[in-house]
Amino acid sequence: MSARGPAPGEGAADAHWLLRTVELSEHCPPSETAFSVGAVVVAEDGTVLGEGYSRRDDPHDHAEEVALRAIDADDPRLAGATLYSSLEPCSSRASRPRSCSSLILDTPIPRVVLAWREPAVFVDCDGAERLRTAGRTVVERPDLAEGVRAVNAHLLGAA
Ligand SMILES: [Zn+2]
């Protein structure tokens, strides 16, 4: 993959990549029981290493794991990369043994940026806390959460 954009960093660059995750989330096959999420992993120089969205290849796929699946686990660029997700990475899940926060902790990715903290609709999520406790930098941009909520509005109405 050779797509590129701004080098990850606080402010406009983080906003650029989070808006990309919202775009990706709009491709999710619809679900009544799971959020639509987009994720992108960006190297230090702005190269896209992997992208994903919920349910892309399988009904149980989470966006972060699809994005990480595209990347060689030994890719040295992971050590300087930022993972962007439109929603807080999950800390537990019913359908698969490994949560997205565990999958992220399996990588050296030092920085995670999310737009929206997972609301307690389906499970109680403490992914951001787990990542911080493990020494990763977690940046939250609630100012960009509106687009994420809009994509998931049908789920929130039932909450
Ligand atoms: Zn997940």
6 domain residue, yes or no: no
Residue 6, classified by CB atoms within 10 Å of its CB into exposed (0-12), middle (13-18) or buried (19+), is: middle
CA distance 50 to 53: 11
Kindly give the distance from the C-alpha atom of residue 88 to the centroid of ligand 1, in angstroms, as a whole number. 8
The pLDDT score that the predictor gives to residue 97 is: 86
7 domain residue, yes or no: no
List of residues 6+ apart from 62 with CB closer than 8 A: 37, 54, 90, 93, 100
For residues 155 and 94, is the Cβ–Cβ distance under 8 A? no
Average pLDDT over residues 107-112: 98
Active site residues: 64
Q: How confident is the model at residue 2 (pLDDT cuts 50, 70, 90)?
A: low
Amino acid at 72: D
4 domain residue, yes or no: no
Kindly give the distance from the C-alpha atom of residue 47 to the centroid of ligand 1, in angstroms, as a whole number. 23
Q: Which domain holds residue 126?
A: 12-156
Average pLDDT over residues 89-104: 90
Q: CATH number of the domain at 30, please.
A: 3.40.140.10
Whether the full predicted model's pTM is greater than 0.85, yes or no, is yes
150 domain residue, yes or no: yes
Kindly give the distance from the C-alpha atom of residue 24 to the centroid of ligand 1, in angstroms, as a whole number. 15
Ramachandran region, residue 133 (left: φ > 0; alpha: ψ -120 to 50; beta: rest): alpha
30 domain residue, yes or no: yes
For residues 51 and 40, is the Cβ–Cβ distance under 8 A? yes
Kindly give the distance from the C-alpha atom of residue 62 to the centroid of ligand 1, in angstroms, as a whole number. 5
Ramachandran region, residue 152 (left: φ > 0; alpha: ψ -120 to 50; beta: rest): alpha
The pLDDT score that the predictor gives to residue 1 is: 47
The pLDDT score that the predictor gives to residue 123 is: 64
8-22, pLDDT tens digit by residue?
999 999 999 999 999
113 domain residue, yes or no: yes
Who surrounds ion ligand 1 at CB < 5 A?
62, 90, 100
Look at the chain and report how many structural domains it folds into: 1
35 domain residue, yes or no: yes
- pLDDT of 109 higher than 60: yes
Q: What is the mean pLDDT of the chain?
A: 92
Handedness of CA 115, 120, 122, 125 (dihedral sign): positive
Kindly give the distance from the C-alpha atom of residue 63 to the centroid of ligand 1, in angstroms, as a whole number. 7
The pLDDT score that the predictor gives to residue 95 is: 80
- pLDDT of 76 higher than 90: yes
1 domain residue, yes or no: no
Q: How confident is the model at residue 65 (pLDDT cuts 50, 70, 90)?
A: very high
The pLDDT score that the predictor gives to residue 29 is: 95
Q: How confident is the model at residue 94 (pLDDT cuts 50, 70, 90)?
A: confident
Half-sphere exposure at residue 157, Cβ-oriented, CA atoms within 13 angstroms:
6
- pLDDT of 159 higher than 90: no
Kindly give the distance from the C-alpha atom of residue 4 to the centroid of ligand 1, in angstroms, as a whole number. 25
Q: Which of 130, 59, 57, 51 is nearest to 88 (CA)?
A: 130
